[in-house]
Structure 1
Amino acid sequence: MPGNNRRLSGSTLANDLGNVFVETAVQIARKFLFLDTRQKALFHFILVFLVSGYAYYSPPNSEQYYIAAKNNIFNVYGTKVGWFWTLITVGPFIWLTSFLQCQNSHIKAAQHMIRLVVATAIWHFITSSFIHIERSTRRCQGAKSDDQSKCIVAGGKWIPGVDISGHCFLLIYNILIICEESLAYKNWPRNPKNSSTYVATPSEAQNYRKLTLSVQGLFIILFFFHLFWDFQLIVTCLYYHTFNHKVLGGAAAVIAWFLTYKMFFPIFPGMPNFNSHSKSS
């Protein structure tokens, strides 16, 4: 019937446009996420150094821009809960790519999730250490008080502690983790891999292709967060903390990434690029 044909044609057009959008977004994300992580680590550390240096010698007016306010929506619901976003985006991506490329093995997928567990422990340890360092180095000169306002009321002079930038650490660490984990999609095969012990059934092959769409969706989301963390890193370097504290935070992120993804993870539990010798989709 004409009406049904028009609806079918409209549905087909919508699907085609959706596929074009996804494929275009994936290709753009590939160009960005698959850059060498060593170069990215160096680039972001230099970025922190240069932007923080600019902010030190030519401080921008923080009252002029909404993004400079600590209570802006991007800071409150983005950076301040940045690790939450890492868990709910990188976590599913690791699980799904590992599960599909390890012949539907939940055990092997869980093994690859160890990378995120270790990264979470490192994030917690380092940010907690930053807080401890700040509290241990601050003091009230001329009066006995651990509170800034009480110190001033008591006639003392408040000496701030060493407040290493947890935001610089978090943002760069997030960016490098996203880049490393996105490599699982670098040579993504169109069909499930068969071996001498595993041959995918037609239904499993069809399910694989459906779940690949979810992998692509998560891949695009990781790309979005990479761009967002880049933006937030620049804002942090322009408006928050001192030069030294931002550089120390950035250095801590690069060191944490290097120790895990370049030294420990290649040994156990393994790295995310399962298909380095496979034909990509």
Structure 2
Amino acid sequence: MATRRQTTKIEVPIPSIANGTNSATVKVPDKLDSPPPGNSPFLPTVLEIVLLAIYPGTLLLGSLFNVLHPSTRNATYIAHYQAYDPAEAPSYFAKKGNFFNVYFVKIGWFWTTLAFVALILTHPSLGPPLKPALTRRRLQAAVRYVCITAVWVAVTQWFFGPPIVDRSFRWTGGKCETILSDSAASQAEKADMGEVERAFTHAACKAIGGQWRGGHDISGHVFILILGSAMLWLELLPAVLKMEGLREARRILTPDGLVRSAAVETDAKEGGASDEKPKEAAVGLRVALVVASMSWWMLLMTAAYFHTWFEKFTGLLVAFGAIYIVYFLPRALPVWRQVVGMPGV
């Protein structure tokens, strides 16, 4: 009968160094104590880079279509209107009054919010589905949403007065100009309202019958479509992919100064989150996927028919800046990570 071979753990002494120090034992460092191979905690993973690259790729594709396609080359583009002449618009989507622009893009943050709430209330990795349990993951997801929403408000709605898009337009030489009219009533109305120059926002300028001209206008459509859909995709990834695989791919800087896999921040702190997917989870995932997909399509239409290439590019940069601060910077800043967390961790 064969005997069972037993292994024995041996500590190997290291010979004394010339200075006369005592011998020490060899210690094999734990794999979590050494920096793992891969990207920096300041950088996205390969999968995230591919995902984010879709946005500039979409803008490039739409812009090339705008330049090369005969339907857009031969149509009249009105620069201050930031769109084509409605009478000869090259496509239904080139009209500002198209159904999807009015009822999806113009109120885009409503749909983004709806999708986000559906996701965090139904997916079991965040907490008990359809139950008002305030788990750590749900709370941090809500903080991320509030941060992104605050950026949306500051850029497009209000920033201690006019929003950033209107302030930047004024800073770059833009102003509200009077539309000439032969109507005596119209001229009298303009005389009563004072100087058109006092209109510091695009909405106010339009309301008094003026036109926003002369400055650089950051594309609000590009900004909101990228900001909202990128937030949904980055929240979706841990839900549609294997949680452990995604954690292993991401790198974080821990408070002890080491670069580690995000897997070290385990679910032990959560106390009850589950990765199993009941039927309720599919509802939130589908709503988020529909909104994110619609946002991509309207981004392509915006790239093809509205704004100049530079206006679209600055809209992309502002959206990416906000996404980086909320979703990527926490990996390298432990204190910030304690506040906003990371999806799936």
The two structures have a TM-score, normalised by structure 2, of 0.55
Shift of 1:257: 1.0
Shift of 1:40: 1.8
In the alignment, does 2:224 pair up with 1:170? yes
- What does residue 234 of structure 2 align with? 180
8 Å contact kept, 2:220–2:315: yes
- What does residue 225 of structure 1 align with? 291
Distance 1:40 1:260 in 2: 16
| Larger mean Cα displacement after TM superposition, 109-118 or 232-241 | 109-118
Q: What amino acid is the match of 1:234?
A: L
Seen in structure 2, the aligned counterparts of structure 1 residues 184 and 241 have a Cα distance that, compared at 3 Å, is same
Shift of 1:173: 1.4
| Larger mean Cα displacement after TM superposition, 138-147 or 230-239 | 138-147
- What does residue 133 of structure 1 align with? 168
Q: What amino acid is the match of 1:68?
A: A
Distance 2:302 2:54 in 1: 16
Seen in structure 2, the aligned counterparts of structure 1 residues 164 and 104 have a Cα distance that, compared at 3 Å, is closer
Q: Deviations over 1:204-237 (max 9, x none)?
A: x9xx97x831211110121112221111001101
8 Å contact kept, 1:171–1:230: yes
Seen in structure 2, the aligned counterparts of structure 1 residues 81 and 35 have a Cα distance that, compared at 3 Å, is farther
Shift of 1:41: 1.4
For these two proteins, the number of residue pairs brought into alignment is 225
Distance 1:64 1:196 in 2: 55
Gaps of 5+ in 1: 1-33, 153-157, 275-281
8 Å contact kept, 2:112–2:229: no
Shift of 1:140: 6.7
Structure with the larger helix share = 1
Q: What amino acid is the match of 2:216?
A: V
Seen in structure 2, the aligned counterparts of structure 1 residues 145 and 273 have a Cα distance that, compared at 3 Å, is same
Shift of 1:107: 4.4
8 Å contact kept, 2:122–2:283: no
Alignment of 1:95-106 (within 5 A): 95-97=121-123, 98-100=126-128, 105-106=133-134
Aligned equivalent of 1:118, options 118, 128, 147: 147
Seen in structure 2, the aligned counterparts of structure 1 residues 110 and 198 have a Cα distance that, compared at 3 Å, is closer
Q: Deviations over 1:181-201 (max 9, x none)?
A: 012413379xxxx9799689x
Structure with the greater alpha carbon radius of gyration: 2
Seen in structure 2, the aligned counterparts of structure 1 residues 42 and 195 have a Cα distance that, compared at 3 Å, is closer
Seen in structure 2, the aligned counterparts of structure 1 residues 68 and 174 have a Cα distance that, compared at 3 Å, is same
Distance 2:218 2:270 in 1: 52
- What does residue 270 of structure 1 align with? 341
Shift of 1:259: 1.7
Seen in structure 2, the aligned counterparts of structure 1 residues 268 and 65 have a Cα distance that, compared at 3 Å, is same
8 Å contact kept, 2:230–2:323: yes
8 Å contact kept, 1:95–1:110: no
- What does residue 90 of structure 1 align with? 116
Q: Percent identity, please.
A: 23
Other structure's SS at 2:127 match:
helix
